[in-house]
Amino acid sequence: MLIFEQSQSGRFNGAQAPAEAPSADDIPAHLRRKGRPTLPEVSELQAVRHYTRLSQKNFSIDTQFYPLGSCTMKYNPRGANAQAMLPGFLGRHPHAPASSHGQGVMACLFELQEMLKQVTGMAACSLTPMAGAQGEFAGVAMIRAWHDARGDETRSEILVPDAAHGTNPATAVMCGYKVREIPTDPSGDVDVEALREVVGPQTAGIMLTNPSTLGVFDRRILEIAKIVHEAGGLLYYDGANLNAILGKVKPGDMGFDVVHLNVHKTFSTPHGGGGPGAGPVVVSERLEPFLPVPMVDHDGREYRWVTESERPQSIGRLSAFMGNIGVLLRAYVYARMLGREGMERVAGFATLNANYLMARLQAEGFEMPFPDRRATHEFVLTLKHEAKTYGVSAMDFAKRLLDYGQHAPTAYFPLLVPECFLIEPTETESRETLDAFVAAMAAIRNEARDNPEIVTSAPHTLPVKRLDDVKAARELNLTWKPEPVA
Amino acid sequence: MLIFEQSQSGRFNGAQAPAEAPSADDIPAHLRRKGRPTLPEVSELQAVRHYTRLSQKNFSIDTQFYPLGSCTMKYNPRGANAQAMLPGFLGRHPHAPASSHGQGVMACLFELQEMLKQVTGMAACSLTPMAGAQGEFAGVAMIRAWHDARGDETRSEILVPDAAHGTNPATAVMCGYKVREIPTDPSGDVDVEALREVVGPQTAGIMLTNPSTLGVFDRRILEIAKIVHEAGGLLYYDGANLNAILGKVKPGDMGFDVVHLNVHKTFSTPHGGGGPGAGPVVVSERLEPFLPVPMVDHDGREYRWVTESERPQSIGRLSAFMGNIGVLLRAYVYARMLGREGMERVAGFATLNANYLMARLQAEGFEMPFPDRRATHEFVLTLKHEAKTYGVSAMDFAKRLLDYGQHAPTAYFPLLVPECFLIEPTETESRETLDAFVAAMAAIRNEARDNPEIVTSAPHTLPVKRLDDVKAARELNLTWKPEPVA
Amino acid sequence: MPFIPHTEADVKAMLETVGVDTIEALFDEIPAELRSDGLNELSAGLNEMEIGRLMQERAAEDGLPACFIGAGAYDHHVPAAVWEIVTRGEFYSAYTPYQAEASQGTLQLVYEYQTMIASLNGLDVSNASLYDGASALAEAVLMAVRANRKDKSRRILIPATVHPAYRQTVHTLVRNQGIELVEVPYEPESGITAVESLEPLLEEGMAAVVIPQPNFFGRLEEVDALTDWAHAHGALAIAVVNPVALALLKPPGEWGAKGADIACGEGQPLGAPLASGGPYFGFMACKQAYVRQMPGRVVGKTLDSEGRPGFTLTLQAREQHIRRSKATSNICTNQGLLAAAATIHMALLGPRGLERVAGACHANTGALVERLTRVEGVQRVFEGPVFHETVLRLPVPVDTVIRALGAQDVLAGYPLAEDYPELENCILVCATEKHGEADIEEYGRHLERILDRNRGPACTKLRPPEGTI
Amino acid sequence: MPFIPHTEADVKAMLETVGVDTIEALFDEIPAELRSDGLNELSAGLNEMEIGRLMQERAAEDGLPACFIGAGAYDHHVPAAVWEIVTRGEFYSAYTPYQAEASQGTLQLVYEYQTMIASLNGLDVSNASLYDGASALAEAVLMAVRANRKDKSRRILIPATVHPAYRQTVHTLVRNQGIELVEVPYEPESGITAVESLEPLLEEGMAAVVIPQPNFFGRLEEVDALTDWAHAHGALAIAVVNPVALALLKPPGEWGAKGADIACGEGQPLGAPLASGGPYFGFMACKQAYVRQMPGRVVGKTLDSEGRPGFTLTLQAREQHIRRSKATSNICTNQGLLAAAATIHMALLGPRGLERVAGACHANTGALVERLTRVEGVQRVFEGPVFHETVLRLPVPVDTVIRALGAQDVLAGYPLAEDYPELENCILVCATEKHGEADIEEYGRHLERILDRNRGPACTKLRPPEGTI
């Protein structure tokens, strides 16, 4: 039942409303609202009960295994939440003076900038992008600003591997570039020969994830970097998969010029049903002048904001204030809790979990498109055999997994692999949980063989059965409307 | 699955443990522990996931209608929780000096004492009892101390109506009294003639709830008070049902000498799966010297603790410190949010809801043992007809209600009424919720008629089906033990 | 190990299953010359107790001053229930609801959110939220360029009364797509945008006109006239609004004869804490006709295989993960938790509660301005109705006053001269429902004292304000 | 209306259903002379924002000092996850799990709690918690009297080294049942209870001997000898223990040849915030033989009608709601939320974590005592091993020192003279894992300064400590 269906005209939640104010009759009538908006009129108990019960209809990390590939659904420490919600942080206005009312939060942000530089091997950092995609935007915009600043205005293309996240090409277009796709070779790496053929004076840069979304580490990355750099282009690193290499390899050492990080992935800030995230960017020295503002600096005496006035070449501002500071505080707390040793452990255990899970699923007879490669923090599995033999698709497997109390992996991405799952267990899951996933996958394949209907009509145990997406798109219903009064 | 079954030897939650300390070898070996206790070895994620999922197996006010008679399951304001959990309150040591580090919390406690005096019409208050039953104990102990102080040592009996809460007789015994039961008259009031017959010089006092647990207001309360007082006894008021009369009648005006309140009922502090509560006591002037310590006083300059040294006649201390202050802070916040008007509204709307629900259930053909009486904040319904006709007991109705997403009312209490429900909807529930309860009751009766098996084998939709209480008591299993290693 | 559950026995058994000897061996495909020698510059890890103590000290440093700054972020009361529910693990630690059946909690909540936002704006539809108000305006500009079928121009008129940081953000985000932002000056007396100042900018056509309400100075624009003018010239009207103000002010969908086409704004006033500027959320609503041009996630109602209603992400064909380089935006994150907070916040307040909040803000701002202008030399700069905020001119440099009041734990307001050089010595002050009489009086008294001191003979560097000394 | 959902239309319709005209009419059975004229002395209601502000001011008044007081309440780190989970509505707003099928969350959690508490104490069973440590000891005393079949005496030996407030509480709660509490003096040099001091008290028989570990002075008692002595003389042994200390110390179930019979204590150190003294929880564990004499709720494992395991309240026949005047206790509330917090706390720490906490407390207390006794005139009073706390004698009155340190936001410790007149100028100091080197050094430096000042010629009222001036 929707909250609106529990509403009754005239119900009023007295504990949450200020006393009635004098009428605002200095505001001219033609600027004033006439009818009231369709907000629900419910009691505090009704609201609390409604949203508490709604919450129970979600799968989440706190309640289920959630091996969503490329999303790094690892444990979001409750301590990070508690510290970020201290009254002094929550109550601080973005324009509160830095000197008298900001040194606490700015110390955290400054140190986070330093840590992100260190883990990526880059020279400078701006925390301000509000999500991964905005970090990507900032990265490509800086590449463009760099070419522009050199007067090199011939560069019109961004190269993107065909396995890339959809945000990569979309971002390139937002920055005014044309996108050229680079194919993948049979081993899962970028096809270097194809790359060689397409680079040229029109190449602004390349956007790469390494390890790629195919769950493998591109072994020829140094060669790729050399090719692109020699053609005058720059290299952008999509940090979505940074969890796989934290403490093992630094993007800076691979030759990247700019990196964005997803703190809601690598630094375990809450995924929040789809946000908020934060997408800090770190760059090599040559891109430093172009970083988005504001940033935090320390002048030896105190922390202060770096703004456009002292960074005239900055690509500019990306939000009204300084991005998602509350998210960054959580990332800071997490990073400090891990520390040196903890951070070095992340990639190791994430990779161990992925390789173990892959090995066990392989032993159970599931097919891997790149069977000879190591898994990184994630791996791709294809159900094309099951689809063909039993008529049961990856989507059906995904829905049936829900009945086994496990969130489904990312399905049908990367686009190159048919009927695929992209599976990322993360380092915070136990071996028992991975074993339970293998058992569920094996059980579902048995069901697919013996009783495919139970799989193709799944899920059966959730608040709703399988939903009709086509109807949703065709007969758009995006807002509730009151029943017309008879 | 139990948390112990997820444990693995050697798993260690590094974020929550201090660094290893130097061995405590100054402690002699014969005083030291040898083996480790059976605490689970799980990761933070495992613990969070386990207890989050466990929580989802509960019914609660925040998720279901919970009309548990005599328990006043009303909305527990989230604001009260948030305010009581402010760091300054949570971090305060009970022995932190009152002057320098206690005036904030003591101001709240002092004002709460004053408010409780006002709503009950009594002269003095001690907040220290940690639950209703401890408040009862304090009340009866004060009655005893009063008689003792007067040198009146012949009084050996406490009178208790047969409809009383079980805590009443149990408390009287804890205070060294014999209990004598007073019968109820056919209208549901105390049988005054029977009372007259048993009072005498052996009567220390009477313990009364008014309205009684039969859901009616005892109309002859002034007469009862007169009889007991004339016999030299005192009157104790069990505040369990205070929600019914808040702002309408004061126990002090009815002639009571001592009252305990259940703040987790009337003042909406959390029920917490069975606690913590708090059971403040308020008394008339003559009992003031006997109040349990400590209390809070204001000496014109600052708040200070009143202890036994200045209250030599006090019954003494009931806890190591000053009771459940965190609970009392929640009650204080709630009381201040209600204020005068809000508090006066409580009884009115609680009573309206109960009478409406009773009227609707009556109209549906359910039987009330006291059909001519007004309901107070609660009322009794008997299912003896249904039990006889369909072979479906009150217990079966209760279990089946759970399938309808409603917590069952209190069943089989009061003991006087066969196959009874004691139903207390509280003022915070909406009319729609009450209507849904009526609909569920009617539907269950239809099921009882048409398909009694579905009722007698309920519940069907919960994490477990009906549990075997007899087995639980007969084959006691109170702790988990590791499987013996083969 | 913090957050890693593996025992030594687990590691051993798992490596055996994989068929390698060490965890390091799993990285053997990485060229050896790339392997880093560790994160030596990082410090050792802290446990939760240690980091907790550090963070408590830092939070305490930032204090809890009385805040009279607005300028795009507003210090409202947020009911305790809001964040107690939002931080429940099931909301907090879930991801984008790709598996609809396992995400009905988030999905239904977003559907309710969309309904509330659309209604608040008087428009047909809403998306599931964007990053913040400023970037939402940038997305609205891009959307208007896509959506305007009458005028294929890439020019956008944007008044100088739009939040300066919003204008900067829009510039950053749209400049590379050849979109031209044309600034519209404001009337110096009234502080609003006159229709007459739009006329000269008409020449080359335009895709949209941006209309703020209230504007950055707190002043109420003549939204009907501006909207009608935009429509009359083939442009779309993009409203930038404060959602709390909408409880009192005419919603964008009712502006002028046809209503604004797109509305967007900063959602922070609906339940998000100030938090130094984020996370907040941008909202966006529009007319049904433009729904397929809208960026961001959208949730639709549908049925399950047994005909029961349910909710799912829809219109995904617009999005980057399907459409890649042809997507409406590169956005994939929304501000899910913040939208959840806003939904619960609005449910707790209801229409009457929100109206009272807006009324209290309005009344308190009036009282604040009245009090401060009683201080000698302090003047209102613009005449006319306002919401929430007002520009005052001080007789001394603003920075001095801000610093002196800051030392008293009063945040005086937002200094305007950097963004508007013509508004030297001007400050934008704001009151919400949280700032009652006593707070306002305290501000007034401190200001009096500070101005008296700065007027004194010792402060020779200050220009003497008119009428003193 | 705060917390009341009724609209005017609802009220009207509902009154019609009931058949009365007004809500007041529903009170017509109440004698008119009793009707109150309202709660006129109460002030008007505050909304959540207003009370929030008041409470924030008051909480700030109480500050966040560095706490070196123990004396029964200990300042431990509590993982953030503990209270974020405990305050989830499903735990927070549920009642006693009378409907077991709808309360498996609480019930399973209590079963896990019982397992942890029993194991920590080295005993067979545990109840679901009691109010606090002091009242738990009173219940243990009553239980011992019921349970001891060898000796029908109602005498209980209780050492003076048991927490004074515990002894007072026990006195209050058992005095009316004819139970005699006999105080056992402690050895003045060692601060512990010698078996020899028990002998003279033997005469009339006794039901139980209470044995604290650590005792109120932080000193470790010779628990084996005391337990064996109790058993040798037909008494039960009741242990009063600190649950964190049990990670290091021998559990009651292993004391002496046969183990203590009942163990109880204050559960606060397991996840409950200091909170001015409550809510905390008392724990109680005992040998299987005495389970039916145990007071309070107990949860048992059973099966459902399909043979699946589940949990339910059991042994209810002992309780007041069934047994009324013959119940084992009048208790019906336990401290459910606190027991839940303790369970989650123990699960997060695990056996090794708890051991480290105890180890850190022990090491820090050692460092504290070492630092403070380096201050001139400060001396340890009792020799021998301690846990957590130590008694120090100061060269000046304790109150002066406590006040002066309080002004520096350091809480110095618990003054002992009121409870133990022989310990004039003595203070009980405590350190936990939260009090590191820097805090201890700060305490030490302040103490030095304060003592120097108070030794000065201006303080003529003070007795000069030996060896100074």
Query: How far apart, in whole angstroms, are the C-alpha atoms of residue B428 and residue B353?
Result: 9
Nearest CA in chain C to D75: C49
3-state secondary structure of A161: strand
Q: Min CA distance, D286 vs chain B (Å)?
A: 12
Q: Min CA distance, B476 vs chain D (Å)?
A: 6
Q: Min CA distance, D38 vs chain A (Å)?
A: 20
Model pLDDT, residue D456: 60
The pLDDT of residue C333 is above 90:
no
Query: How far apart, in whole angstroms, are the C-alpha atoms of residue C419 and residue D232?
Result: 88
Give the DSSP per-residue string, D237-282. EEEEE-TTGGGTBPPGGGSTTT--SEEEEE-TTTT---GGG-S--E
Model pLDDT, residue D467: 41
Query: How far apart, in whole angstroms, are the C-alpha atoms of residue D346 and residue D343?
Result: 5
Q: How many CB pairs under 8 A join C and D?
A: 23
Residues of C in contact with B18 (CB under 8 A): 47, 49
CATH of A342-471, one of 3.90.1150.10, 3.40.50.620, 1.10.275.10, 3.30.160.60: 3.90.1150.10
Nearest CA in chain A to C315: A473
Beta strand pairing status for C208-213 and C236-241? Answer: parallel
Cβ-based neighbour number of residue B418 at 10 Å: 14
Chains contacting D (3 or more CB pairs within 8 Å): A, B, C
Model pLDDT, residue C330: 79
The pLDDT of residue D300 is above 60:
yes
Q: D145-169 burial, b if ≥16 CB within 10 A, otherwise e?
A: bbbbeebebbbbbbbbbbbbbbbbb
CB contact under 8 A, B45 and C56: no
Identify the CATH number of the domain in which residue D439 sits.
3.90.1150.10
Q: Tell me which residue in C9, C47, C84 faces B16 most closely, judged by beta carbons.
A: C47
CB contact under 8 A, B68 and D98: yes
Q: Which of C345, C362, C386 is the last residue of a domain?
A: C345
C90 and C187 fall within a common domain: yes
C336 and C358 fall within a common domain: no
Please name the residues between 105 and 144 in chain B that touch chain D, using a CB distance below 8 Å. Answer: 105, 107-108, 115, 118-119, 121, 130-134, 136-137, 141, 144
Nearest CA in chain B to C4: B43
Residues of B in contact with D57 (CB under 8 A): 104
Model pLDDT, residue D457: 54
Confidence of residue B241 (pLDDT cuts 50, 70, 90): very high
Q: Tell me which residue in C133, C250, C348 faces A33 most closely, judged by beta carbons.
A: C250
pLDDT digits (tens, 9 = 90+) for C24-40: 999 999 999 999 888 98
Single out the residue of D447, D318, D328 nearest to residue D378, CA to CA. D447
Please state, rounded to an integer, the average pLDDT across all residues of chain B. Answer: 96
Single out the residue of A69, A46, A48 nearest to residue A407, CA to CA. A69
Confidence of residue D317 (pLDDT cuts 50, 70, 90): confident
What is the total count of domains within chain D? 2
More confident residue, C463 or B435: B435
CB contact under 8 A, B63 and A52: yes
Model pLDDT, residue C312: 97
Q: Min CA distance, B84 vs chain C (Å)?
A: 12
CB A68 within 8 A of CB A410: yes
Query: How far apart, in whole angstroms, are the C-alpha atoms of residue D100 and residue B399?
Result: 10
The pLDDT of residue D468 is above 60:
no
The pLDDT of residue C377 is above 50:
yes
The pLDDT of residue D313 is above 80:
yes
The pLDDT of residue D131 is above 90:
yes
Q: Which residues are registered as beta bridge partners of B68?
A: B423
Confidence of residue C326 (pLDDT cuts 50, 70, 90): confident
Confidence of residue C204 (pLDDT cuts 50, 70, 90): confident
Average pLDDT over every residue of C66-80: 97
Please state, rounded to an integer, the average pLDDT across all residues of chain C. Answer: 93
Average pLDDT over every residue of B388-408: 97
| Portions of chain B given CATH number 3.40.640.10 | 80-337
pLDDT digits (tens, 9 = 90+) for A94-117: 999 999 999 999 999 999 999 999
Give the DSSP letter of residue C312.
Answer: E
Single out the residue of B57, B64, B78, B75 nearest to residue B433, CA to CA. B64
D280 and D422 fall within a common domain: no
* H or E element in which residue D146 lies: helix D133-147
Percent of chain A with pLDDT over 90: 94
Instruction: Give 3-state DSSP helix, strand, coil % of chain C, rounded to 5.
Output: 45, 15, 40
Residue with tokens 């964190």: D244
Query: How far apart, in whole angstroms, are the C-alpha atoms of residue B5 and residue A468?
Result: 40
Model pLDDT, residue D38: 84
ipTM exceeding 0.95?
yes
Chains contacting C (3 or more CB pairs within 8 Å): A, B, D
D240 and D261 fall within a common domain: yes
The pLDDT of residue A31 is above 80:
yes
Model pLDDT, residue D410: 97
C356 and C268 fall within a common domain: no
CB B36 within 8 A of CB D354: no
Query: How far apart, in whole angstroms, are the C-alpha atoms of residue B77 and residue A43?
Result: 11
D356 and D339 fall within a common domain: no
pLDDT digits (tens, 9 = 90+) for C299-320: 999 999 999 999 999 988 766 6
Supply A195's token pair.
């790359």
Average pLDDT over every residue of B417-421: 96
B18 touches chain C (CB under 8 A): yes
Confidence of residue D188 (pLDDT cuts 50, 70, 90): very high
pLDDT digits (tens, 9 = 90+) for C184-201: 999 999 999 999 999 999
Which segment of C89-98, D276-285, D327-336 scores lowest on mean pLDDT?
Answer: D327-336
Query: How far apart, in whole angstroms, are the C-alpha atoms of residue D328 and residue D342?
Result: 25
Phi and psi of A357, rounded to 5°? -65, -40
CB contact under 8 A, A12 and D84: no
D56 touches chain C (CB under 8 A): yes
Average pLDDT over every residue of A220-233: 97
Class of domain B80-337: alpha beta
- The range of the structural domain enclosing residue C422 comes to 66-75+351-446
Q: Tell me which residue in C56, C77, C87 faces D84 most closely, judged by beta carbons.
A: C87
* H or E element in which residue A264 lies: helix A263-266
* H or E element in which residue A140 lies: helix A132-149
D99 and D197 fall within a common domain: yes
Q: Which of D345, D372, D396 is the last residue of a domain?
A: D345
Model pLDDT, residue A191: 97
Phi and psi of C164, rounded to 5°? -55, -40
CB D425 within 8 A of CB D397: yes
C321 and C218 fall within a common domain: yes
Please name the residues between 193 and 252 in chain B that touch chain D, using a CB distance below 8 Å. Answer: 216-217, 219, 221-222, 245, 247-250
Model pLDDT, residue C1: 79
CB contact under 8 A, C8 and B10: yes
CB contact under 8 A, D59 and B89: yes
Q: Min CA distance, A282 vs chain D (Å)?
A: 31
D284 and D424 fall within a common domain: no
Q: Min CA distance, B310 vs chain D (Å)?
A: 14
Single out the residue of B296, B299, B298, B265 nearest to residue B279, CA to CA. B265
D233 and D373 fall within a common domain: no
Q: Tell me which residue in C48, C87, C433 faces D79 most closely, judged by beta carbons.
A: C48
Model pLDDT, residue D86: 97
Q: Count the alpha carbons within 13 Å of A9 in the hemisphere toward its beta carbon.
A: 5
Residue D109 resides in a domain? yes
The pLDDT of residue D462 is above 60:
no
Percent of chain D with pLDDT over 70: 96
Single out the residue of B401, B387, B389, B388 nearest to residue B458, CA to CA. B401
Cα separation of the two ends of chain C: 70
The pLDDT of residue B389 is above 70:
yes
CB contact under 8 A, C3 and B44: yes
Model pLDDT, residue D466: 45
CB contact under 8 A, D77 and C434: no
Average pLDDT over every residue of B212-226: 95
CB contact under 8 A, C5 and B46: yes
Percent of chain A with pLDDT over 70: 100
The amino acid at C136: A
Percent of chain C with pLDDT over 70: 96
D238 and D267 fall within a common domain: yes
Interface of A with B (CB under 8 A): 6, 8, 14-15, 43-46, 48-49, 52-53, 56, 61-64, 75, 77-79, 87, 337, 342, 428-430, 432
Query: How far apart, in whole angstroms, are the C-alpha atoms of residue A133 and residue A135?
Result: 5
Q: Min CA distance, C468 vs chain A (Å)?
A: 29
Interface with chain B: mutation pick from A16, A45, A407, highest number of B CBs within 10 Å: A45
Helix A44-55 vs helix C104-121: angle between axes, to the nearest 10 degrees? 130
Model pLDDT, residue B68: 96
Confidence of residue C467 (pLDDT cuts 50, 70, 90): very low
Average pLDDT over every residue of B136-163: 96
Q: Which of C300, C321, C345 is the last residue of a domain?
A: C345
Average pLDDT over every residue of C439-445: 97
Confidence of residue D454 (pLDDT cuts 50, 70, 90): confident
C403 and C329 fall within a common domain: no
Model pLDDT, residue A209: 93
3-state secondary structure of B32: strand
Give the DSSP per-residue string, B212-281. -TTS---TTHHHHHHHHHHTT-EEEEEETTGGGTTTTB-HHHHT-SEEEE-TTTTT----TTT------E
Residue C304 resides in a domain? yes
Q: Min CA distance, B16 vs chain C (Å)?
A: 6
Model pLDDT, residue C192: 98
**D268 Cα distance to chain centroid:** 5
Average pLDDT over every residue of D223-242: 97
